[in-house]
Amino acid sequence: MSNSIINRILGRIERVLSKTRVNPFATLYLNFRTLPFAQACKLPIYVYGRVKFYNLNGNIIINAPLKSGMIKLGILQGCFSASKGNAIIYLASESKLIFNGPCKFDYNYAIRITNGGIVNIGAYIGFGNDIKIYSENSITIGDYCRIPFGTCFMDTNFHYSVDTETGIVRPKSAPIVIGKFNWIGNTTTIMKGTHTPNGAIIASKSFLNKDFVKLGENKENIVIAGSPAKIVAENSTRVLSIEAEQELNKWFTNNPNEKIYCNKELLNSYKDTTAYNKSFE
C-alpha cells in the first residue's frame, strides 16, 4: 500500500476523531489568549475539533462560577447533518463574547463579532451544528434557550441602503434580544431589531426582524412562525424537563391512537431543569 493511500486513510481517521475529542492546542490558546491568566488556568472553555481563529483581539467574559469545560465549543452532540469544514471565531478589537453559565456549541459554528459588538449568551444554552452568529451591535440570548442546527443570528445588514426617492438612509444594525426558555426551530434566521419574549417557540425556517414583545402585548409563551414571521398562537412553550419528556414519550407510545395528552400536573414540572443541567457537565 502506497504512502499516499496510508496518509489519506490516516487523515480520514483524524477528521473523525477531531469531531469528538478536545483539541488541546486550540483549548489552551483560546483560554490564555482571551481570558485573565487566573481564569485561563482553570480552562473553562474546551475546544473540540478543528477551528480557525481569524482574530482574537476582543474579550471573552465569563459571568459565572468557573469550572473546567463549562463552555464546550465544537462538541459533537448529534448527527443531523454532515460537517462542512472548520469552525470560525473572529473577535475584533473592542468586541465582547460573554457567557453567563454552561454552554454547548455543536461543530461547524461561526462566531464573528466586529465594530465593538457584544454577544451575551445566557446559561445552559445548547446550540446545534452550523450555527452562525454575526454581530457588530448587540445580541443577547436568554437562559435555557435551545437552538438547533442551521440557525443564523445577524444584528446587521453589513451595508447601508438608500431610498432612491427620499434619500433616507436607516441604521444598518440594531440589537437582537432573545428571551429566556426560547425554543428556536432549525434553519431560522434572526435579524436586527428582533425581540422575543420568554418562553417563545419559533417554528423552523422562520425569518424574524420585528419586536414580538410589543406585537404580542408583552405576552410570554407565544408561537412565532413564517417568513416574515408573525405570532400564530399563544399559551404554548417548550417542555424542558427531561423526565417529563420521557413520560410523554412513554404515554404516546403506549397510546398510539390518542392525539392529545392532558395532565395539569405537567405544568408544575415542565421547567424542572435538574436533569437538563446535568447534561452540560
pLDDT higher than 80, residue 26: yes
d(CA 200, CA 231): 10
Mean pLDDT of 88-106: 97
CA nearest to 19, candidates 71, 81, 75: 75
> Do the bridges between strand 103-105 and strand 125-127 make them parallel or antiparallel, or are there none, so unpaired?
parallel
Mean pLDDT of 101-121: 96
Judged on CB neighbours under 10 Å (0-12, 13-18, 19+), 58 is: buried
Cell 404515554 appears where?
251
Confidence of residue 15 (pLDDT cuts 50, 70, 90): low
Do 73 and 51 contact (CB within 8 A), yes or no? yes
The helix/strand/coil state of 186 is coil
The predicted pLDDT at position 68 comes to: 94
Tell how many helices (H) and how many strands (E) occur in the chain: 6, 22
**pLDDT tens-digit map of 138-153:** 999 999 999 999 999 9
Average pLDDT, the chain: 89
Helix, strand, coil shares, percent, the chain, to 5: 20, 30, 50
Backbone conformation region of residue 240, classed left if phi is above 0, alpha if psi is from -120 to 50, else beta: alpha
The helix/strand/coil state of 93 is coil
Which residues neighbour 236 within 8 Å (Cβ) at sequence distance 6 or greater? 201, 221, 222, 223
**pLDDT tens-digit map of 195-254:** 999 999 999 999 999 999 999 999 999 999 999 999 999 998 888 888 888 888 998 999
What is the CB neighbour count within 10 angstroms for residue 267?
A: 9
pLDDT higher than 90, residue 105: yes
Whether the bond between 36 and the residue before it is cis, its omega within 30 degrees of 0, is: no
Mean pLDDT of 8-33: 73
What are the cell numbers at 23? Answer: 483539541
The predicted pLDDT at position 221 comes to: 94
Do 67 and 46 contact (CB within 8 A), yes or no? no
pLDDT higher than 70, residue 79: no
If you average pLDDT over each of 48-52, 104-108, 131-135, 234-238, which comes out highest? 131-135
Backbone conformation region of residue 193, classed left if phi is above 0, alpha if psi is from -120 to 50, else beta: left
For residue 125, the cross-strand partners are 103
pLDDT higher than 80, residue 16: no
The predicted pLDDT at position 12 comes to: 56
Confidence of residue 280 (pLDDT cuts 50, 70, 90): confident
Which of 28-32, 66-70, 129-133, 271-275 is predicted least confidently?
271-275
d(CA 270, CA 148): 20
Residue 59: its H or E element: strand 59-62
Do 134 and 112 contact (CB within 8 A), yes or no? yes
